[in-house]
Structure 1
Amino acid sequence: MVDGKLVGVHEVNVELADGTFKTYYYAWRGKGAPRIFPKPGTKAFTQEFVRLTRDREKKVKEKTVAEGTIGSLIDEFVKTAAYQTLAPSTRRDYERQFETIRLQFERFPVQAIEARGSRKLFLTWRDTMKDAPRSADMHIALLSRLFSWAKGNEDILRNPLEEVERLHEGTRRDIIWSDEQLTKLIAEGVPHLRDVALIALWTMQRQADVLTMPTIAFDGDRVSIKQGKTGAKVRVMVAPDILPGLRKAKEGEQQRVLVNSFGQNWTSSGFRASWRKEMKRLGITGVTFHDLRGTAITYAYSHLDRSHAEKIKLISEISGHSEADAETIIRKHYLAGQEVIDAIGRGTKKHREV
């Protein structure tokens, strides 16, 4: 054994042609075991051992998952094109949640999913995680998404987890930026952060999609965006307030529309740190960058000259929200819409005059 922590490493001493002996290391004992080439005792050796044994465990697991079970549904679901187009960070989150689901329901029969009483069984399991309500909600939401896919695939006839109430009440849908906060951000924010906020506000896109937006996405009138979280593709007409910045980026040599104060591409951690520091300097509290999307939805709804249903559909297509979520935001904040519009107008007017 090379290292007590690396259980299973197999050593083989081989006599060479010159009479000397050399030790070869394998990830496990037996025919077909892969050789570990890095030097024993090094970090590279450990990493290679972990990689080889993890892949082996995964292959063994894939062979032992019984057909017609929730485990097999998960295996099929993660191979779909829709799942593979999700952002890598989203897939990593889902994989962790699926591991928890597998521990409880790996061999649960598919036929039993639609049986009477299954909803209560799944919700009882969720309630065992009630001390971490947000995590509990995410696990049951993913299980519901799996069942929804299975229903659409005609593996089951009903999804027992439709319209499940959340345990966690801390939704950001109830929060939008106030008149004072928007005015302060747009009028007094440092340019490299204010510009990020303006593009997020006028395109309704998520932080990651805004920060990574390439200059080639702008064609002179619209920006084409593939949303990292959902994989959805949208084309957004550019508002006059962000048109100069997009044109400047297009004419320059930068690869992305938005860069930091050093003219370099933003990193997610770098942006978050800069954003927190700027919010503290401006004295803006109680709202997040993500809340700009809900604020923009309120703004858009009050300006669209369409029926209610048409407005909801158009907004959800651009923002990436579901129609239900978009409507929740609007019903909550529509009366405050004009205040938000006035704030944006005043702030951007000051920005243009500078």
Structure 2
Amino acid sequence: MKGMLVGVHKVNVKLADGSVVTYYYAWRGKGAPRISSKPGTKAFTQEYIRLTRDRQKKVVAGTIGSLIDDYRKTAGYQKLAASTRRDYERQFATIRLEFETFPIESIEERGSRRIFIVWRDTMKDAPRSADMHIALLARLFSWAKGNELILRNPLEEVERLHEGTRRDIIWSDDQLSVLIEKAAPHIRNVALIALWTMQRQADILEMPTLAFDGGRVSIKQGKTGARVRIVAAPDILPVLRKAKEAEQQRVLVNSFGQNWTSSGFRASWRKEMARLDIKGVTFHDLRGTAITYAYAHLDRSHDEKIKLISEISGHSAEDAESIIRKHYLAGQEVIDAIGRGTKKA
């Protein structure tokens, strides 16, 4: 793996006891940071990417490197959620290692698709990550094609390596009952808000108490930028009102009464799921579960239900309908589980 890293500087140092150690630096020259990870490992590559990501360097015009720089300056890229941009920056750093000087004109040439696919397959041991990298490269080429910088996107309709998808996974009624009835209050509250608003984890953890006006909750979705107003279900009113009365900055807080951090919540969630022995589902799967519940509960036509669910949840209509088709028959069980747990808590 270290052979892929252009610019890594290797230095052999003789210690006082006569032994020789080898140090690796992100680049040659004064001020170059040392790479502490073991050479040849994934950690070594990741550390190299982190250390060199913000280093000023000259990018050759007319290359994939310059294409990346131009794309990063666009309004569309700048308005992406900060977390999404961080993920993209890491992936772009990996792409640059391989294709920094790859000519833009060669992107269109016959055979280029195979070059990119072969590169993707070098990461096949981590198929989901490999798919994310090739998808971002395809997005870059799609933008370039839309702006007439290239005439052909060689990465249209690339098959995924990672076959798994969580779109078809929802919580069972037994799992929901355990979660709502037995989870620690600070974890249960987050789960309830997620179930009754269908919002992403980051959006509900950062939800300010001011977002609740006594009857509705106003949310700006970090990923899409969309603004939605959701009627506060009776089941989450106690959580919202308590936050108001306590004059909390955010609706949801941890066991110490402090605002959640994303890493802190993930760690607490993992520990609680282990304690409750809940397996096979994730926090993210609560959104699909909530969609199933909402579809079964709403007294509207099929098309109206899908439209409303999509507007609130942030899913595309196609994804929402896919979840419904897979799990509609489980809808009443989900409703009953949520209701039972809420009444007992």
Aligning the two structures, in what range does the TM-score lie when normalised by the shorter sequence? 0.7 to 0.9
Residue pair 2:81, 2:223 contacting (<8 A) in 1 also: yes
Q: TM-score, normalised by structure 2?
A: 0.77
Q: How big is the shift at 1:127?
A: 1.8
Cross-structure match for 2:230: 236
Question: Is 1:127–2:148 an aligned residue pair?
Answer: no
- Would you say 1:300 and 2:294 are equivalent positions? yes
Q: Secondary structure at the match of 1:173?
A: coil
- Structure 1 unmatched ranges of 5 or more: 10-26, 29-52
Instruction: Give 1:55 deviation, angstroms.
Output: 9.0
| Post-superposition offset of 1:176 | 0.9
RMSD between aligned residues: 2.9
State the alpha-carbon separation in 1 of the partners of residues 227 and 152 from structure 2: 30
| Correspondence 1:276-287 to 2 at 5 A | 276-287=270-281
Tell me which residue corresponds to 1:106.
100
Among candidates 71, 77, 86, match of residue 77 of structure 1: 71
- Describe how 1:150-189 pairs up with structure 2 within 5 A: 150-189=144-183
Deviates more, 1:106-115 or 1:222-231: 106-115
Which one of the candidate residues 295, 316, 319 is aligned to 2:310? 316
**Structure 1 residues 223 and 65, CA gap change in structure 2 (3 angstroms):** farther
Report the CA distance between 1:146 and its aligned residue.
1.8
Match of 2:61 in 1: 66
Which amino acid letter does the alignment assign opposite residue 8 of structure 1? G
Counterpart CA distance in 2 for 1:342 and 1:55 is 50
SS at match of 1:149: helix
Residues 253-283 of structure 1 show CA distances to partners (whole Å, capped at 9, x for unaligned) of: 2100011222221222322232222222322
TM-score norm. by structure 1 comes to 0.76
State the partner residue of 2:39.
none
- Pick from 248, 251, 256: which aligns with 2:245? 251
Deviations along 1:1-58, one digit per CA (max 9) or x if unpaired, are xx9988534xxxxxxxxxxxxxxxxx69xxxxxxxxxxxxxxxxxxxxxxxx969942
Task: Provide the identity percentage.
Answer: 79
Q: CA deviation at 1:284?
A: 1.6
Aligned to 1:190: 184
- Contact map agreement 1:85 1:230 (CA 8 A) in 2: no
Query: Does the CA contact (< 8 Å) of 2:53 and 2:93 recur in 1?
Result: no
- 1:170 and 1:257 mapped to 2: Cα distance? 33
Counterpart CA distance in 2 for 1:184 and 1:56 is: 46
Give the aligned residue type for 1:285. Answer: K
The Cα offsets for residues 299-342 of structure 1, whole Å up to 9 and x where unpaired, read as 12223344544433432332223333333322322222222122
Q: Give distance in 2, aligned partners of 1:184 and 1:279.
A: 10
100-109 or 138-147, larger mean C-alpha shift: 100-109
**1:167: how far off?**
0.8
The answer to whether the Cα contact below 8 Å between 2:179 and 2:276 also exists between their aligned partners in 1 is: yes
Give 5+ residue unaligned stretches, structure 2.
Answer: 1-10, 14-22, 33-50
Amino acid at match of 1:302: A
Q: Is the 8 A contact 2:194 2:286 kept in 1?
A: yes
Q: Deviations over 1:71-104 (max 9, x none)?
A: 2221122112332233333222211211222233
Sort the Cα spacing of 1:159 and 1:336 in 2 relative to 1 into closer, same or farther, 3 A: farther
Paired residues for 1:140-155 under 5 Å? 140-155=134-149
Structure 1 stretch 83-92 or stretch 251-260: which is displaced more?
83-92
| Structure 1 Cα separation of the partners of residues 307 and 159 of structure 2 | 24
Structure 1 residue 219 corresponds to structure 2 residue 213: yes
1:271 to 265, 274, 286: 265
The AA in structure 1 aligned to 2:215 is: D
Letter in 1 for 2:279: T
Larger displacement relative to structure 2 (131-140 or 299-308)? 299-308
Q: Does 1:95 align with 2:89?
A: yes
- CA deviation vs aligned residue, 1:180-218 (integer Å, no higher than 9, x gap): 111121122222211110001111112222111111122
Instruction: Determine helix, strand or coil for the equivalent of 1:74.
Output: helix
Residue 29 of structure 2 corresponds to which residue in structure 1?
A: 8
More divergent stretch after superposition (133-142 vs 317-326): 317-326
**Greater CA deviation, 131-140 or 294-303?**
294-303
User: Partner letter of residue 288 of structure 2?
Assistant: G
Give 3-state SS (helix, strand or coil) of 1:263's partner: coil
Amino acid in the other structure paired with 1:264? Q
Tell me if structure 2 keeps the 8 A contact 1:151–1:159.
Answer: yes
Q: CA separation in 1, counterparts of 2:195 and 2:259?
A: 20
SS in 2 for 1:234: strand
Larger radius of gyration: 1
3-state SS, counterpart of residue 230 of structure 2: strand
- Corresponding residue of 1:331: 325
Whole-Å separation in 2 of the counterparts to 1:114 and 1:243:
56
